[in-house]
Amino acid sequence: MLVAALFLTGWFLEQPAANYPAHWWTPIAEDQKASWEILPQAARPGEVILSKRTELGILSNFAATPLTFRGRHYASVEGFWQMMLYPEGPGDARARAPGIVWPHTREEVAQMTAFDAKDAGTVAEENMRRMGIGWVTFEGKRFPYRSQTKGEHYRLIVAAMRAKLAQNPKVREILLATGNLVLRPDHATEADAPREWRYYEIWMDIRRELQAR
């Protein structure tokens, strides 16, 4: 019934040409939707949702796409991201804050993927709130965690995404397979989220570079 209704409304007719895999837009029943999820059928004409239900999920920071960045190994971009919220060592001010408990080490978070890494980051963000700080660190350098300018955190995330692309051939393959589609996230995003939160836009920038070669 759902498929028939979508045909009647012209949904399938509005989707991109057949040179893209049709299953990228296969509707998912609403009762199977996760609380955070934007389903594939939410894409407008010319768009595709980077759903974790398909191979497009490899473009998510959550994906288990190991990378080596500046000589260190990370299990995912998400692990790299959330790792920066954790103390770098016993001398770090975050490690010495009274009453603050860190459930993982920085190294442990670096080897996490998907919701394990995200959940570790959620705990860290609450600790940061309690400490009254808005900075994270990498290689001993402090910088703002949330900034509306393309600061150090943005540059590091983009660099890690480029490393992911270079070290995981499937990522490049899937990214280029999206052609000229507008990439959209499979989860709700904050209207004023810093630019590095918009991984789908970063991928479109990188895709344009690859296509121009």
Q: What is the pLDDT of residues 7-29, one digit of tens each?
A: 334 444 344 555 999 999 999 99
- 151 & 78 share domain: yes
Query: Containing domain of residue 149, as a range?
Result: 67-160
- 153 & 200 share domain: no
The answer to whether 67 and 111 are in contact (CB under 8 A) is no
The answer to whether 201 and 41 are in contact (CB under 8 A) is no
Q: Please report which confidence band the pLDDT of residue 191 belongs to, taking 50, 70 and 90 as the band edges.
A: confident
- 41 & 14 share domain: yes
Per-residue pLDDT at 13: 38
pTM value surpassing 0.85 = yes
CB-based contacts of 177, cutoff 8 Å, min separation 6 = 20, 21
The answer to whether 51 and 39 are in contact (CB under 8 A) is yes
What is the distance between the alpha carbons of residues 101 and 185, in angstroms, rounded to a whole number? 32
- 19 & 88 share domain: no
Q: What is the pLDDT of residues 62-100, one digit of tens each?
A: 999 999 999 999 999 999 999 999 999 999 999 999 999
> Considering 138, 160, 182, which residue would you say is the last residue of a domain?
160
Instruction: Quote the number of domains for the chain.
Output: 2
> Considering 125, 144, 160, which residue would you say is the last residue of a domain?
160
How many CA atoms within 13 Å lie on the side-chain side of 31?
Answer: 1
Residue in 13, 43, 35 with CA at minimum distance from that of residue 200: 43
Average pLDDT, the chain: 92
Per-residue pLDDT at 17: 52
